[in-house]
Structures are given as C-alpha cells and as structure tokens.
C-alpha cells in the first residue's frame, strides 16, 4: 500500500462545480487519481457521477473548478483535448456506429482528418496486439451491429487503448454484462493497472466496487460524501455512505404458492426486427408468488412482456388465463383479464409526455365508468383518481394537471405503479420496474410488489439486474434467445450458476428435447 | 424490333450518358449530405440556382470553367444556409430543405428578371463542346457514348471515383460516415459533428449546383425556369436506389437516363403513332419507382439520417 501512496498523481480534479438550472449536479468536488490504481466512484443514480466524468472528458463545461492531467491543466469542453492528454472514456451508452466495422469505429478521428491515407492493415495489426495484451478478444472486421453487448464494450475499451489512453474511465460498465463477462472485464482492468494505467470505475453496485477498486469515492447529491480505502471498509458501510441511511432489504415471508393464474405452454411468437421471439416457452405464474425473469437484455424479455401485455399473440402453443383459454388476445383483453402492466420504458410506452398526470392516470380505464359515461369523459372523477394515486404513492409533483414529462423518473414510475395497482390486479407484469430509479424509489417499488404478492397476486418481475431478481423472486427463470430455463426455486442457484444460464449454456439440450 | 435498333444505336448511348451527367453530380452531392446525416431537400432549388448562376456568369463574359465555379459557389451559399439551419440549430430537415428549394428557385427567377428585364426569350451562350478522346472515341458504340462527351461529363464520371475513395479510404470519409451513423461516436473521438455535417452539406450543395449548371452550360445553351424539372427529386430517389453507395447510385442515374433516352426514341417508332406521347414520358419514372422498390429493400439507411445532434444532450 505504501508504494501506491508514492505513485505519481495522473489526474487532479479541483473544486468542480456544475449547475443545471436550479439543480446543483456537482458541488465543489476535488480528488486525485494516482498511477496504477482503480478508484471507484460510487453513488446512486442522480448523485452526479456521470456529470462529473462528462466534465472531465469535455462533454460538459464546469461552472467552476479545474482539471489537471499529468500536471497540465485541461482546457474545458473539448473531448479532443482530453483524448490527447490520455483520458479514455467508456460511456454507459456506447458511442459506436452499428453499421460500421469494429476497426472503422476504433479508427474514427485517430488520423489527421485531411490526411489522404488510412492504413487499415497497420491499424488492424495494432488492434490485434492490444486485444491480445489486454484480453479483449473481438473480430476487427465484424460489423458492430452483430456484436453482443459485452463485445461492444470491449470495442469501446479498445478505442481508448488505441489512442494510448493512460486513464480509463468506465461509466457503469457492468450494467449490461453477465457475471462471467464482468469477471472478464475485471481481468482486463487488472492487466491495465499492472501496465501502469489508472482506472476510474463508476458504479452503484457495491459488490463490484469492493472487488475491483483500491479506493472508493462516494458521491451523494452532487457532493463528495466520503473517501475510503477499499480494504478498510465493507458493503454495509459503503451503502450507508451512499444513501446516508441504513437501507432495508425487502423481506419475503414464506408462503405456499396458490393456483396458476396464467399458464403458457410451448409458446412461440415471431421475431420482431433484431429482437428474438419466444421459442417454446412454458411458464406458470402462480398466485402469491413473484416469478423473476433473469437474462441479458435483448434475449426475448420484450417478446414475453408483449405476449403477456396483449401486444402479441402466440403463433404456436397454448395460453390459459385463470384456467380458461382467452378467445381473443389484445391489450384490451389483457386489461380486462386483470393483468396490470408496468412497462419497460416509462417514457415511451408507459406514459404520454405532454399529457397531464390525470390523463395519464386514466389511460387504461378512460373508457370505463366512472371516468366516462356514454362516451363523455368525467374529468372530475379522473382527477380525483389521479389525486388518490399522488397521495397514496407519494408522487412528488406540482399537481395533477401538469404534463407528466415534468416529473422525475422515480415519480413518473410511482404514478404508473399507482395506475397499474389501483384496481387490485391478480396478475402483475413488472418489466424493469426500477431501472434508473434512486434507492429510495427502488425500495418503494419493491415493497409494493411484495405487498401485491402478499395479497395473492401473481407477479412477473423482468429485470436485467440479477441482484434484484434474486432478492425478490420466489422462483427464477433465465431467458436466453427466446428460450426459458427451468424454474429455479429461491436460493437454489448462485449468481455464478445463473450467469452460466444467462450466457446460454445449458439451453442446447433444452432445444433438442423440444 | 424497334427496341433492338435503339439499343444498338450509338446516339442512344451517347444521349444516356449525357442525360446521366447532371444526375450524377447532384446524386453524389445528395449522397455526401445524407452520409453525414443530413437530408438535403434543397437539391431541386440548388440545381436551379446552379443552372442560372453558371449560365449568367458566362453570359456576362466569364469563361466556361469560371461559370462552373460561380455555379458551385452559388450552390455552396445555399448549402451554408441549409447547414446552418439544420445542423447547429437542429431545425426540421424537411422544412428547411423545401424552404431552400423555394428560396433558391425564386432567387434565380428574381435575379433573371433583374438582369434581363426586357428579354422575351433567354439569350444563348456558347456551351461546352464535346472533347473526343483521340483513339478511344473511334471505338464503335462505346466510343461515341463514353469518349466523345463534353468535359463536364468526364468530370462527373471522375467524381464517382473520387467520392468513393474519399468515403471509404480516407479518415475524412470515415468520420463523415460515422457522423451519419452515430454522431456520438464522432464526438467521443474528439471530432466536431457540426463541422463535419456542415462541411458535407456545403460541399454536397456545390456539387448539386454543378449538376444544374451542366444543363445550361453543356446540355443546352440557355436558361429556362422549368429546365431542372424534378431532376433534384429524382436524385434523392437515386441515392436510396444506390443504397447510399456512390457507384450504385451513379449506375442508377445511368439507368434512369437510359430509360429517358429510350422513351424519346420509342416515341418516333410506329408504336408512337398509337400510344400518346405522355405515356412515354411517364416510362422512366414508372420504371424508376419499380427499380427503387426492388433495389432499396435491403438498403441500409444511415442510422442517424435526419437526427439532429445536440452536444451534451442525453
């Protein structure tokens, strides 16, 4: 440890402050990064981590404060200057052109723009060497659009390494990875560190922060809330620093599952664009049970959600609702059958941005009494309903008449949750219900789902966050390329074992059998 | 039988290549804009202003090449207007494009009336003459078609290669294509999306104007208001037809030109006595729609076409 303290400072942030209107996103943040260390930047969504890194990389300009790289001040607001100084950033949302090859993506902007030649052969050799040195296997000639998310991330890292980055910033790099891919990423980062690079690892996942970092900086509400050596702390203390209070895990009381309310047997649905359809999915959603669906994004979660939500009908296979085969299948039929939906994308499918809270609250029930009669809307009734949701679910808003786009993600989600749960549904489809929410809102949504379970609803929880699925589910299925794994009872599988299924191993036999 | 005779006549092929030339200029111009992510619907008007400016410059005493240069500058000026409104301001590319077309067309009409207030029929200029290439021009069929054209036609065909090489073999082309696929990928690599896109629109508009100038300075020798006559819109379709690739788009231009040259000749055959000539006029457009439908099924549109890019927005 003593050697690390002596290592040179490669990056120094001094008093960085950034405001977005009235919001103070970063409040006088200062820290040093030394050669050969991994510093974790830990904080909830909205704590200001990404803003800080975007300032460092020149996407944003700080209102106050300076950035020094290798002792030289970095001119603000110029990604090019940051790249030249040796800062490489792996963005949370990849900045890759899907229709171009890996090599082309890596080469953009690496040669003077008006030079006449682009030596693809030399570039390919250099990429191959870097890939070998850092354990980043990827085919340089492949079109990025055909790569898996893990491979795309490797391309992003290669982009930085190709430009001789000495400081790597990774923004929530593990959000989209399987546990195995995460392990491989950590291996790469350890290699980078031994080669003298420095890493800033942005995350809100405590386990990963403990595993990879040597030092942790905790951000809370835009402020540096603490700085500790990883060896001197543990997950609980980090969580407290991050939230500022003790956090409670939802508790699932033992209870025997009730009857199956929705049953799928060997259902197939068509492919939609790049999204796989379902291939022979059999599933039972039981009363009083939360069924978790784990899997890497884009493996058929959308198809399953579309099927249960009534947007898609099975082309083959059977479906039973409350023991009956539905005569026709549409979103309206799904609603009528008591299926409540919490859509994956609250902005695009969960709400209509420019409509008011009231209008959004009755989107699923506007045609029914008491919100309308004989084709006329009863707005006072609708507004009263919106007010009830606002009160019960603690939706922070200026009132029911403002457009819903003015609400923060968490409050928008609470309104959608209220809309879905108001009628006491028997079946709840919760697709990524806490994505992008802060811990307070997450706890609230989880508690509501658990409460629904207690009153006997069948809940399907779809999430890309394995920790979330494992914490809440009575049984877990893994989805891969539109196929479903067997049901794993709570506690019967470790994250690593589920990760193997998420990577697709174990499914081949299932296909042959089907 | 008649069709066969037409296909074997050198004059038909020479006409096809000539008719294709302005389309090639303008199609390449539009392709550059769209590859960078900007749909340039100003093309029709920019061709009109190019046709007018080049012709007017020569009428006022400039040399032919100077006239081409003036046409290009006029196109680039309107390109700058289009780029400023669509790139840094991020306005609707449809609305701005149509506005630029209307403005450029009206500017040409206005300038025409200002400079020639008393004239009933537009004055003629001495246009580009064919430059037969010694030796090659004597090859039967191919010679007159390809090697006895005006220098602007040679320039058009040379530009196909130039644009291909720049797009696929240089850092500039790589950055340009990336700006049309995912501007964030360009921004993250330290380049300016705004500069790339504006540059592409300005240069592309310059090419469109040269395409227009071809009409007054090479194909005909005078300026008429209706002479561009929808060629700009055809070029937009040709870019799609060519799946945003210069070679294929130019091939599409040749195909369209061949239909056009063919229908004129078909009118003069015995069939023309029975079928109204308007039907023949329709043929190239009908065939183009058909070809477009067949060719563009698997085309890959630049992913960020018509998507404005705002720095720092997520």
Q: Does B303 touch chain A (CB under 8 A)?
A: yes
Residue A104 is predicted with a pLDDT of 94
The alpha carbon of residue A114 is apart from the nearest alpha carbon of chain B, in Å, by 6
Q: Which long-range contacts (CB under 8 A, 24 or more apart) does A395-403 make?
A: A395/A357, A397/A357, A399/A357, A400/A356, A400/A357, A400/A358, A400/A361, A401/A356, A401/A357, A401/A358, A402/A356, A402/A357, A403/A353, A403/A354, A403/A355, A403/A356
**Whole-Å CA distances, B267 to B230, B250, B263:** 21, 26, 6
Find, in chain B, the residue whose alpha carbon is nearest to that of A77.
B312
- Identify whether A19 is part of a domain: yes
Same domain, A413 and A439: no
A20 burial class (0-12, 13-18, 19+ CB within 10 angstroms)?
exposed
Residue A511 is predicted with a pLDDT of 44
Last residue of a domain, one of A211, A243, A275: A243
How large is the average pLDDT for residues A57-62?
A: 88
Please answer yes or no on whether B191 and A109 come within 8 Å at the CB atom: yes
**Whole-Å CA distances, A425 to A292, A394, A414:** 18, 20, 16
**What interhelical angle do A409-421 and A439-454 show, nearest 10?**
10
Same domain, A328 and A360: no
Task: Name which of B164, B174, B175, B302 to mutate to probe chain A: the one with the most chain A Cβ atoms within 10 A of its Cβ.
Answer: B174
Q: Structure tokens of B277?
A: 């000539």
- Identify whether A345 is part of a domain: no
Please answer yes or no on whether A93 and B314 come within 8 Å at the CB atom: yes
Q: Which CATH number characterizes residue A432's domain?
A: 3.40.50.300
**A150 C-beta neighbours (distance < 10 Å), count:** 18
The alpha carbon of residue A27 is apart from the nearest alpha carbon of chain B, in Å, by 19
Same domain, A25 and A165: yes
**B170 C-beta neighbours (distance < 10 Å), count:** 18
Same domain, A194 and A113: yes
pLDDT in tens, A454-477: 999 999 999 988 888 998 999 999
Please answer yes or no on whether B188 and A105 come within 8 Å at the CB atom: no
Domain span at residue A360 reads 354-420
Same domain, A239 and A254: no
CB B22 within 8 A of CB B149: no
Find, in chain A, the residue whose alpha carbon is nearest to that of B301.
A99
| C-alpha count within 13 angstroms, C-beta hemisphere, residue A443 | 10
CB B41 within 8 A of CB B97: yes
Torsion of CA A467, A472, A475, A476, to 10 degrees: -30
Question: Residues of B with CB below 8 A from A112's CB?
Answer: 171
pLDDT in tens, B178-237: 999 999 999 989 899 999 999 999 999 999 999 999 999 999 999 998 899 899 999 999
Last residue of a domain, one of A243, A262, A292: A243
Q: ∠ CA(A473), CA(A474), CA(A480), 5° rounding?
A: 60
Of A59, A95, A109, the CB nearest to B182: A95
Please answer yes or no on whether B170 and A115 come within 8 Å at the CB atom: yes
Please check the confidence at residue A45 and state whether its pLDDT lies above 70: no
Q: Does A113 touch chain B (CB under 8 A)?
A: yes
Radius of gyration over alpha carbons of chain B, in Å? 20
**What interhelical angle do B151-169 and B193-214 show, nearest 10?**
160
Q: Does A172 touch chain B (CB under 8 A)?
A: no
CB B90 within 8 A of CB B310: yes
Domain count, chain A: 3
Q: Does A110 touch chain B (CB under 8 A)?
A: yes
Task: Name which of A109, A160, A347 to mutate to probe chain B: the one with the most chain B Cβ atoms within 10 A of its Cβ.
Answer: A109
Residue A508 is predicted with a pLDDT of 63
- What is the C-alpha separation between A131 and A156, in angstroms, rounded? 12
b/e A324-333 (16+ beta carbons within 10 angstroms → b): eebeebeeee
Q: Does A116 touch chain B (CB under 8 A)?
A: yes
CB A329 within 8 A of CB A264: no
- Identify whether A344 is part of a domain: no
- What is the C-alpha separation between A40 and A17, in angstroms, rounded? 20
Same domain, A367 and A497: no
How large is the average pLDDT for residues A391-407?
A: 87
Place of tokens 């329709």: B282
- What is the C-alpha separation between A381 and A369, in angstroms, rounded? 9
Q: Percent of chain A at pLDDT above 70?
A: 95
Extents of the domains making up chain B = 2-114+146-296
Question: Residues of A with CB below 8 A from B166's CB?
Answer: none
Q: Does B273 touch chain A (CB under 8 A)?
A: no
Of A100, A105, A113, the CB nearest to B171: A113
Q: Does B37 touch chain A (CB under 8 A)?
A: no
Same domain, A376 and A282: no
The alpha carbon of residue B168 is apart from the nearest alpha carbon of chain A, in Å, by 9
Same domain, A165 and A239: yes
Residue A114 is predicted with a pLDDT of 85
Residue A211 CA to its chain's centroid (Å): 20
Please answer yes or no on whether B187 and A118 come within 8 Å at the CB atom: no
Residue A512 is predicted with a pLDDT of 38
Residue B314 is predicted with a pLDDT of 38
Of B169, B175, B184, the CB nearest to A109: B175
What residue ranges of chain B have pLDDT lower than 50?
A: 313-314
pLDDT band at A2 (very low <50, low <70, confident <90, very high): very low
Same domain, A310 and A374: no
Residue B4 is predicted with a pLDDT of 77
Find, in chain B, the residue whose alpha carbon is nearest to that of A59.
B312
Of A100, A105, A113, the CB nearest to B172: A113
Q: Does A78 touch chain B (CB under 8 A)?
A: yes
| C-alpha count within 13 angstroms, C-beta hemisphere, residue B9 | 15
The alpha carbon of residue B313 is apart from the nearest alpha carbon of chain A, in Å, by 9
Residue A47 is predicted with a pLDDT of 78
Find, in chain A, the residue whose alpha carbon is nearest to that of B311.
A59
Q: What SS3 class is residue A403? A: strand
Q: Supply the mean pLDDT for chain A.
A: 88
Of A95, A112, A117, the CB nearest to B188: A95
What are the residues whose beta carbons fall under 8 Å from the beta carbon of B193, sequence distance 6 or more?
A: B179, B183, B186, B187, B309, B311
Same domain, A158 and A32: yes
Q: Percent of chain A at pLDDT above 90?
A: 52
Same domain, A215 and A332: no
Same domain, A228 and A273: no
Please check the confidence at residue A510 and state whether its pLDDT lies above 50: no
Q: Does B311 touch chain A (CB under 8 A)?
A: yes
Please answer yes or no on whether B171 and A105 come within 8 Å at the CB atom: no
- The alpha carbon dihedral of A496, A498, A502, A507 has a sign of positive
The alpha carbon of residue A24 is apart from the nearest alpha carbon of chain B, in Å, by 17
- What is the C-alpha separation between A316 and A313, in angstroms, rounded? 9
Q: Does A414 touch chain B (CB under 8 A)?
A: no
pLDDT band at A215 (very low <50, low <70, confident <90, very high): very high
ipTM of the complex: 0.86
pLDDT band at A246 (very low <50, low <70, confident <90, very high): low
| CATH for the stretch B2-114+146-296 | 1.10.3470
- Identify whether A343 is part of a domain: no
């Amino acid at each position: 440890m003593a050697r690390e303290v002596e290592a040179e400072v490669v990056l120094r942030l001094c008093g960085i402050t950034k405001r977005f209107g009235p919001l103070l996103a970063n409040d006088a943040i200062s820290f040093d990064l030394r050669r050969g260390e991994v510093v974790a930047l830990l904080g909830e969504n909205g704590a200001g981590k990404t803003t800080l890194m975007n300032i460092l990389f020149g996407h944003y300009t700080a209102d106050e404060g300076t950035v020094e790289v290798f002792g030289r001040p970095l001119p603000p607001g110029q990604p090019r200057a940051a790249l030249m100084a040796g800062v490489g950033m792996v963005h949370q949302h990849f900045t890759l052109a899907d229709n171009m090859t890996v090599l082309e993506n890596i080469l953009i902007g690496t040669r003077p723009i008006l030079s006449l030649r682009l030596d693809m052969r030399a570039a390919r050799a250099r990429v191959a060497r870097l890939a070998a040195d850092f354990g980043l296997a990827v085919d340089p000639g492949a079109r990025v659009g055909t790569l898996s998310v893990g491979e795309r991330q490797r391309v992003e890292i290669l982009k930085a390494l190709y430009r001789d980055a000495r400081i790597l910033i990774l923004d929530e790099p593990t959000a989209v990875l399987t546990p195995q891919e995460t392990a491989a990423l950590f291996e790469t980062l350890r290699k980078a560190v031994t080669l003298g690079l420095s890493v800033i690892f942005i995350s809100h996942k405590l386990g990963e922060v403990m595993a990879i970092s040597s030092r942790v900086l905790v951000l809370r509400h835009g402020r540096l809330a603490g700085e500790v050596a990883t060896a001197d702390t543990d997950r609980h203390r980090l969580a407290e620093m991050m939230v500022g209070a003790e956090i409670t895990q939802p508790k699932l009381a033992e209870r025997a599952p009730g009857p199956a309310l929705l049953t799928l047997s060997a259902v197939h649905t068509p492919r939609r664009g790049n999204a796989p359809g379902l291939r022979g999915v059999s599933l039972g959603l039981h009363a009083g049970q939360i069924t978790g669906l784990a899997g890497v994004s884009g493996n058929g979660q959308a198809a399953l959600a579309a099927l249960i939500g009534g947007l898609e009908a099975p082309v083959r296979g059977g479906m039973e609702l409350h023991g009956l085969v539905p005569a026709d299948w549409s979103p309206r039929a799904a609603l009528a059958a008591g299926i409540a939906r919490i859509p994956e994308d609250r902005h695009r499918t969960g709400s209509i941005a420019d409509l008011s809270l009231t209008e959004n609250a009755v989107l699923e029930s506007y045609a029914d009494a008491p919100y309308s009669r004989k084709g006329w809307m009863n707005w006072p009734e609708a507004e009263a309903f919106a007010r009830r949701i606002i009160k019960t679910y603690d939706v922070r808003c200026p009132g029911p008449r403002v457009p819903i786009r003015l609400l923060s993600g968490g409050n928008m989600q609470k309104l959608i949750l209220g809309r879905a749960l108001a009628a006491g549904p028997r079946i709840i489809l919760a697709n990524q219900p806490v994505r992008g929410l802060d811990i307070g809102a997450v706890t609230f949504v989880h508690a509501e789902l658990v409460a629904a379970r207690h009153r006997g609803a069948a809940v399907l929880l779809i999430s890309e966050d394995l920790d979330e699925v494992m914490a809440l589910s009575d049984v877990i299925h893994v989805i891969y390329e539109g196929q479903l794994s067997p049901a794993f009872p709570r506690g019967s599988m470790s994250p690593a074992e589920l990760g193997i299924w998420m990577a697709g191993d174990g499914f081949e036999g299932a296909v042959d059998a089907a | 039988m008649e069709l066969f005779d037409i296909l074997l006549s050198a004059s038909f092929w020479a006409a096809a290549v000539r008719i294709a030339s302005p389309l090639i200029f303008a199609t390449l111009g539009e392709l550059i804009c769209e590859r960078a992510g900007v749909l340039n619907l100003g093309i029709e008007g920019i061709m009109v202003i190019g046709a007018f400016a080049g012709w007017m410059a020569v009428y006022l005493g400039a040399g032919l090449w100077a006239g081409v240069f003036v046409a290009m500058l006029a196109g680039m000026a309107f390109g700058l207007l289009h780029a400023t409104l669509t790139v840094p301001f991020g306005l609707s590319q449809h609305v701005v494009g149509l506005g630029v077309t209307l403005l450029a067309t009206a500017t040409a009409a206005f300038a025409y009336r200002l400079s020639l207030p008393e004239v009933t029929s537009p004055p003629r200029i001495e246009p580009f003459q064919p430059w037969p290439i010694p030796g090659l021009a004597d090859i039967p069929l191919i010679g007159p078609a390809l090697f006895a054209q005006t220098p602007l036609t040679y320039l058009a065909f040379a530009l196909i290669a130039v644009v291909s090489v720049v797009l696929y073999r240089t850092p500039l082309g790589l950055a340009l294509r990336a700006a049309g696929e995912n501007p964030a990928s360009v921004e993250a690599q330290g380049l300016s999306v705004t500069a790339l896109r504006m540059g592409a629109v300005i240069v592309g508009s310059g090419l469109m104007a040269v395409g227009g100038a071809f009409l007054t300075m090479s194909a005909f020798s005078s300026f008429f208001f209706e002479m561009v006559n929808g060629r700009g819109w055809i070029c937009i379709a040709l870019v799609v037809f060519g799946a945003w690739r210069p070679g294929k788009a130019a091939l599409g231009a040749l195909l369209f030109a061949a239909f056009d040259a063919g229908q004129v000749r078909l009118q003069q055959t015995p069939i023309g006595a029975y079928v109204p000539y308007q039907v023949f006029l329709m043929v190239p457009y009908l065939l183009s729609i058909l070809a477009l439908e067949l060719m563009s099924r698997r085309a890959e549109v630049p992913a960020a076409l018509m998507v404005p890019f705002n720095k720092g927005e997520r």
